[in-house]
Each structure stands twice: as C-alpha cells, then as structure tokens.
Structure 1
Amino acid sequence: MTMKSVLLGAAAGIAAIGAAQAADLPMTKGEAVEYVKVCSAFGEGFFYIPGTDTCLKIGGEIRAKYYAFGGTGFSRNDNRSAFDTQARVWFDARTETEWGLLRSYFQINADSNRLVGRGGGNGTRNDFTIDKAFIQFGGLTAGYAHSFFGFYDNEYGDTLEGNYYAEVSTVNLLAYTAQFGGGFSATLSIEDGRDHRVVNNTFDNFVDQGGQQVPDVVAQLRWDQSWGSLAVQAAGHQFRSAQLFDDAGNPVASPRKNKFGYAVGATGLIKIPAIDGWFVVEGQYADSALEYLGANNTFIAQSDYFTNAAGRIDGGKGWSITGELGGHITPQLQAVLVGSYIDTSYDRLNTTGDGGIKEFTISGNLTYTIVKGLKVAGELGYTHGKIDHGTIDSPTNPKLDGRDSYNNWLAGMRITRQF
C-alpha cells in the first residue's frame, strides 16, 4: 500500500465520522437580527429605538466663528478680534401614548474660546453648557426650557452675534399649555425667579438681591394661523433685598424691601410666502422686572433695584422693542435684518435727576447654503447707547470712564455644518 493510499483512506474515515456526529446535532435557526427602523411619524431623522415604540432623533452642529470688534472706549487690553468654535449635540425622544405625546429633549453646547468683545485674557477656555433639558407630556412642560414670555428669541432671533433686547433666557420652569382649537392656545408657567434677575451694578446705589421666596408667574395667550401668529404675555416677579454683612461676617443694618414687579408684552408675526420670509416684532414694558426687557444684553450693565435720592429702595422701569425682517433672495441665499431698542429709567436715582440707559442696535446678515447641511454667513452690527444723568464708571479703562454715550460695531462670519 502506498503512502498516498493511506492518506486518502484516513481522510475518508475522518469525513465519515464528522458526518455521523453532525447528524446527531439538533438543527437550529440563526438568531433574528433587529434592524433600526425609520420613524416617519415626527419628520425626518427619527428612528425607533430597538425593542421600543420610542422614536429618537440625534442631531448636531459645528459653528466656526470669526469676528472683529471696535468702537467707543476700546483699550489696549480689549479684544479687537476673536475666534470661537461651538459644537452642539441634541437628542429628541418622542413616544405616542394614550394620554398624548411624551417627549424629552436635551441639548448640550461646547465652546472653545467663547466670543468676547471686551476684555483680554490668554489661553483657550472650553465651556460646556446645557442649552435645554426638558420633558413634555401632553400640555405639560417641565425642566430647563425657554421662558414662555414671548416667542421671538426662541423661534426667530436670527442674528449670528448681533444683539437685541427681548426675553432671551432659558429657565427652570413648570408649565401647562392648553389648546382650544382654531389655533388658540394658553400657557401658564411657573418659572425660577433667579433666572429672571438683572443684578449687574453700573451705579454705586444699586441693591443686591436676597434669596428667592416666590417664583415668577408667566402667562401667554397665543393665536397661530397660516398667515402668522399673535401673542400677548405677562409676568410677575418678586424682589427681596439682601442681608448685608461686614468683613468679619457679622450682619449689619441694611434696608429691607419686598416688592412685586411685573412685565407685559406682545408679539406679532406675518409670513411672506413670496420670498419664503417673515416679519416679526416683539415689544414689552416692565416695572421692577427688567430682565424681561432684555436688560441683561445691554452694553452697560443694569439692575432691577436701587436706592433713590430719598434713601428708599425702588425698582427700575422701561420698555424695549425688537423687529426682524427675513427672507430668501434666492433658494440658497437668505437675508435677515434685525433692529432693537431699549429704554430704562431709575426715578430719582441721584440728586441730579432720574437715571437710565437708552440703547439702539441694528444688525444684518447674509447666509448662503453651499450644499445641504453646510452654510456660510456674514454679519455687520452697530450699537449706540446713552446714559441719562450719569456717566460710565470704569476705573480700569480711562478711555471709557466718565463718558455718557458710546458707539460700537462688530463684523464677522460663521461657517456652519449641521447633521
């Protein structure tokens, strides 16, 4: 017997043994693979979370910004240019239930060298912030969401970095929205009053605020139609003066004041189908609740409360208005123009008369869509302000100190990739 015959016989024997053992094994099916399914109930980008009836959308955006600043009082220590890159990621989960839609939304923003028009500083600052985090169930909204006072900033506010004066805060809140049919809805919102404070001190006689006792109450009535929307809103805000302490930590005599302020406003939107555009305007008046005017956005810092010339604690008053016109010059090119004005007053601020700040800002931008998801935009902005019966107190900047008016500008561009 040759070696070749031996090897062939051994191979045949091994094959026969393997076949016999395989015949004794039970037959099994391959495990089913559950593929991700598209969820079309809520629009593009949603998919079913495997094993559930919840639809999830994950989105993101990268914004690369390049800006230059200038104007009154810029010193050698202030930034004349600034770069900033921002990353945004959001998760939108929705489930239809027998009680209505259950939704949770979460967005986080990350900034590298956040844009700053004034002030120097070296090195890179990486900031991570929660933009929004809330739950909605039927008409209920709970969590960290945009204030229900007005809707301009939340749904429009189409500037790149240009300023405007309106309610811009994301706040901790508990709200309920009732739908009445015909486009009518009403919202009652209980909002954290600490998120609605204006506590920056421009003048020496502004008053520090104490701990919160009563949250803010915000109400809005809204009417949405195919041609646009109308809304009226109101808010109540409590002020409590703070207890003062000396350097050793001992309490000292300090004025005590509890007072309720308020704000009222209205918003109007008209759609312009011919240019796929819109015109929206929002205005508000406030007494002792200046945050609702957008007073935190002024070039000169402000505060709700102050000690007047008679030695009594009083609240600031004022009004503001913002208008925006936007539309498409071509399907790829969008143009937006935004103008805004704020006027605040502090009665009998000092012996020379009432104090106050008047500020006007205008900005315009063009945005071009290169391909779907990729845009490049350019913007110009200008701000003019004046202080009534007072001057700017800036001991660190002699070019700004002692002035009663200012003019500032910005110019820049932004590249955006959204997915």
Structure 2
Amino acid sequence: MKLVKSLLLGSAAGLTVVAGAQAADLPIKKAAPVEYVRVCSAYGAGFFFIPGTDTCLRVSGRARFEAGYTQNFTRGNNGGGGDLSGYRGLGRLNLDARTQTAYGTLRAFVRFELASRTGAYLTSGTANRAANAFPALGVDTFNRAQQYVNVDKAFIQFAGLTAGRAASFYDFYAHDFEIIGTTLGSDVSSTNLLAYTATFGQGFSATLSLEDPIFRKTPIFGTGTALVNGQYQVFNSGSGNFTPVIAYNAAGVPVGVANYDVVQRSRMPDFVGALRYDAAWGSAQLSAAVHELTVGNASTITPFNGFPAIATGAAAAPRVSNEYGWAVQAGIKANLPFIAAGDALYLQGSYGEGANLYTGISAYNGSWTSNGNIASGASFNQWYSDAIVDPVTGKMSLATSWTVVASYLHYWSPEWRSAFMGSYGEIYHGQAARNNLALVSGLASTGVQPLGNPFLAQSAFNAVLRDSNQIVAGASLIWSPVKDLDIGIEGLYTRQAINNGRVIDANKTSAVPNGVNAAGLPTLNGAVLPTTTAIDGFNVRMRVQRDF
C-alpha cells in the first residue's frame, strides 16, 4: 500500500513539472494599450479628439422651462378666446465636429430640439404649419398641447461652402436679446440652403445663398379651398386655395369665373445675397432676397349668378403668371463696452414686396398663414397674404410691407442684465385688386364671401385685407447667479391697428351690416354695430435655462 501511494505521488509531481515547463514555453499576451480621450484646444473650450481619429468634437445642450401669460385688453367671447396662460419644457442637444484639412476647417454641426408645449402662445401654430410639431386632438387639449420635434440644424461647412439646414443668411438681428423671439423682423433659424461665403479685406464677407422657399411662403389670398356644387366650402385652409378670375366666352363677353389654384408649389429656390462687415466695434450687414410666387391652373368655371351653366371649353380666362417678390434689409450692431461690459445695440430695417416673411411683419402673430392676431379671441385679424390675384386683369397685386426694430442689451452687473426692444411695421394690400375680387366673388356663386360688395358703404368696415400696422415693444430682466444659468422675466406690449377707418368688432358682434347711418357708422336694420380701430395686448413670459 505504501508502494502504491509513493508511485501516485511521484507521478503527480512529474506531471506538474512537465505542465510548468510547457506553460513557460507559451508566449505572454500583453494588454492592448489604452487610448485616452485627449483635449482638442484648436477650436476653443469643450472640444476633444474622437478616439482613433483627428476629428474634434464638442457635445453641448440646453434645458429650459418657460411660462407665459397673455392678456388681450379687448378680449371677449369670440372664437377661441379664453386661453391666457401657457407652459413649455425644452431640451436641446448640439454636436459640433471639426477636422483640420489642407483646405481649412471641415465642420459638421447638428442640433436637435424637443419640446412639450401647452396653452396660449407657447403652443405654436407656426410650428404646426412648418411640420415641426404635432398638436393634441382631445376636447380640452385640442391645439392647446403640442409636441415639438425638430432637426433645428444639420449643416456642413467647408472652404466657404455651407450646405444643409441652417439659419437664413438674410437674417441679422434675429431676436438675439429676447427670451422668446417676438419683435417684428425676419428670423428663419432653420431652413435648407446651399451657400458660399467669400472673405476679403479686413472683416468683410459676401455670401450668395440658395434657400428653400417653403420657409418663406405666405399664402396668396384665396376665397376657398374646395368647390362643391360650384360653391367654395371653406376658405384659406391647408388643403387647397382657389381664387376667381373672370372668364370670357368666344364673343369676349364675361360669363363667369375660372377658379384658379393659388397653392404655391416650389419651383425655384429663393436667392439671397448678403454683404457683412465684422470688427471690434460690432458688425453691419446689407442683405437682399428674391422669392418666387407661383400659381397653378384653372380648374372649374363658375357662371355668374343668373347665367346658365357653362359648357366645357366654352369659356376661358387670362393665364395668371408667376411673379417675383423681393426684399432688402440693413442692420447694424454696436458693442458698447464704455457703458458696461457686454452692452450692445441692434438697429435693423427691412422692406419688401410680395415677401412678407422677409420683412417679418408677421413674426409675432404667426408665420406661414394668411392672417393672425395678437391674442386669442381678438377683435379682428391682421392680414399677411403676399399677393392678391386681380380677377379682372388676371395679374398678381403684391403686398408691400416694412419693419424696423431696435434692441439694447445692458448689464447692470455681471449677474444681472436687461434687454429693451421695440419694433414697428406696416403692410399694404392692393386695394384695386381687393375691390375687384370682392365684386367678382359677389357676382359668382362662391359661397363663402369674406370681402363684401365694394359698392356698398358698409364694406368699408370689413377687416379682410385691410392695410394695417403693428407695434411690439418690451423689456426683460435676467439673473445669472452662476455661469450658463439664466432665470429671467420678459414683458411685452403689443398693438395691431388698421391704418385708416374702422372695422367691425368681432368680439362684440358677428352680424354683417346692411347699411350706414348719417354719421358713417355701419348698421344692421338701423341699429349701429360696434366698431374698433386697434387691439392692445400685454404678454409676460419667464424662463429658467441651463446651457452646458
């Protein structure tokens, strides 16, 4: 037994020695070297090299809470009147990637924004119309709650080229000092474009940009969206837009109207040019834009009231031609460190024809719509249509608009600052085209007729397509107790008014006048109807914002 035990122990010891010898002959596997993230100092703070590449990346973002209250001093029970408060929570993520090449810096920038909005004026019809948001559909939440999803930026810059989704090169001030952009003036922060910028001299640059026209379209005025049994059923909606043009028979006698489709299609890009100067004292910019206004073909022909039906091909109307709107803008920014560090002043003015989104006349009330007002349930709407098709001549009559804005930022101390801003704008529609449209629509079976008969005195009190003006002015106070944290409040005064005459106060009556008294006031069966000339409103907003 002792012999067997000795043999087993000896065998085990021998195997151990052999295994150790074989293990000693195997190569030793070394751990892969660790590649640490390195700081990239070439482009400023926050950049780091993406491991394994020569590309520098900066990740940043924003979290924001907003609340607002809007008071329309003339508010009544008209339409959706009653929604006064609103809230919004917003998140932003920025990715900025840069690589140095033989041609200069290659940059790609992406910004995502997500928001949840509720209530008056923090939900955005503009965002819905631009396909950046979708609204709630419940009874109590209908258009009062909104989810906002947007690729706000996604562009590439290389050797003077900018391609992708970026801010329009036409814009200058673009509400830089405001908590929520509201003053009048152009501010298209996200559009699709292809641009080239050349630098020359000391601080000078010139840019030529081809930009997506969709984000600059204000609807051409139309009296309907659909024709059912020869009548317009709804006017100025999103599904279509028609306007009448007189049709003539073979003998040249007017017998009805051709119903022209005036929904604008995208055929040509907007052409934008900008000349800019930047220096230590501030900057200045002169920009211009050309914007195509398009129309479609005539669909059906509606006979004048009392005329027999028109056989297909028996009547024709003048062909409505496309037109080109245009706008120019000049702006200057002056740094004012001799008042306080960080102080600055913006001055800007813009003028345009058939290009109302370039002048920014609708910036406060809402863009990409034919009309709007300063508060829910207002007494009348202000009209923004870029053009009216004159039904007699078949030509477009372009609207003219202009705006001016001033904004001053002042630092009371490094932690406290205020902005003071004021803006004013006017818009003019072609009155001859407006009167012709009212007359022709009255003669034809157009169902919905918002303009009234231009030969009756009471039609002078209709607010549709009236020349008008608007004021938006306000101030803010912002506290930044630590770097990149803002807690602020902003108050705004707004006023929209017609340039001359009076309009029916829709807050007090929905009646249509059928006469005018000796004092020139509209009446219905002898009773004087309430009228107004202007709407005043006040808006208070606050925000808490952290950038990182």
TM-score (norm 1): 0.87
Instruction: Provide the rounded CA distance (Å) in 2 between the counterparts of 1:391 and 1:240.
Output: 33
Counterpart of 1:127 (choices 148, 151, 166) is 148
Per-residue deviation, 1:70: 1.0
Matched residue type, 2:271: V
Higher alpha-carbon deviation: 182-191 or 370-379: 370-379
Residue aligned with 1:125, SS: strand
Instruction: Provide the rounded CA distance (Å) in 1 between the counterparts of 2:505 and 2:48.
Output: 55
Contact 1:162 1:362 in 2 (8 A): no
The aligned residue for residue 259 of structure 2 is none
The aligned residue for residue 271 of structure 1 is 335
Instruction: Provide the rounded CA distance (Å) in 1 between the counterparts of 2:503 and 2:16.
Output: 96
Instruction: Provide the rounded CA distance (Å) in 2 between the counterparts of 1:245 and 1:133.
Output: 40
Confirm or deny that 1:165 pairs with 2:294.
Answer: no
The aligned residue for residue 304 of structure 1 is 386
Confirm or deny that 1:347 pairs with 2:430.
Answer: yes
Contact 2:75 2:81 in 1 (8 A): no
Instruction: Provide the rounded CA distance (Å) in 2 between the counterparts of 1:400 and 1:121.
Output: 26
The aligned residue for residue 293 of structure 2 is 239
Residue aligned with 1:23, SS: helix
Instruction: Provide the rounded CA distance (Å) in 2 between the counterparts of 1:244 and 1:198.
Output: 21
The aligned residue for residue 409 of structure 1 is 538
Higher alpha-carbon deviation: 76-85 or 94-103: 76-85
| Cα pair distance change 1:11/1:393, threshold 3 Å | farther
Per-residue deviation, 1:29: 2.0
Would you tell me which structure has more strand in proportion to its own residues? Answer: 1
Residue aligned with 1:210, SS: coil
Matched residue type, 1:294: G
Within a 5 Å distance, the mapping from 1:146-165 to structure 2 comes to: 146-153=167-174, 157-161=176-180, 163-165=182-184
Per-residue deviation, 1:19: 4.1
Flag structure 1 segments of 5+ consecutive residues without an equivalent.
2-7
TM-score (norm 2): 0.68
Per-residue deviation, 1:22: 3.3
The aligned residue for residue 91 of structure 1 is 95
| Cα pair distance change 1:13/1:202, threshold 3 Å | farther
Residue aligned with 1:303, SS: coil
Within a 5 Å distance, the mapping from 1:3-402 to structure 2 comes to: 19-71=20-72, 72-73=74-75, 75=77, 77-113=81-117, 116-117=120-121, 121-122=141-142, 124-153=145-174, 157-161=176-180, 163-169=182-188, 170-199=190-219, 208-243=262-297, 245=299, 256-274=320-338, 275=340, 276-297=342-363, 298=365, 299=373, 300-308=382-390, 312-348=395-431, 349-350=434-435, 351=454, 352=460, 355-388=466-499
Instruction: Provide the rounded CA distance (Å) in 2 between the counterparts of 1:20 and 1:301.
Output: 94
Per-residue deviation, 1:121: 2.9
Q: For residues 39-65 of structure 1, give each alpha carbon's deviation from its aligned partner in whole angstroms, at most 9, with x where no partner exists.
A: 111111111111111111111111111
Contact 1:279 1:326 in 2 (8 A): yes
Say how many residue pairs are matched. 412
Instruction: Provide the rounded CA distance (Å) in 2 between the counterparts of 1:11 and 1:160.
Output: 82
Residue aligned with 1:51, SS: coil
Instruction: Provide the rounded CA distance (Å) in 2 between the counterparts of 1:10 and 1:327.
Output: 92
Per-residue deviation, 1:240: 1.6
Matched residue type, 2:85: S
Higher alpha-carbon deviation: 401-410 or 360-369: 401-410
Contact 2:63 2:546 in 1 (8 A): yes
Higher alpha-carbon deviation: 116-125 or 169-178: 116-125
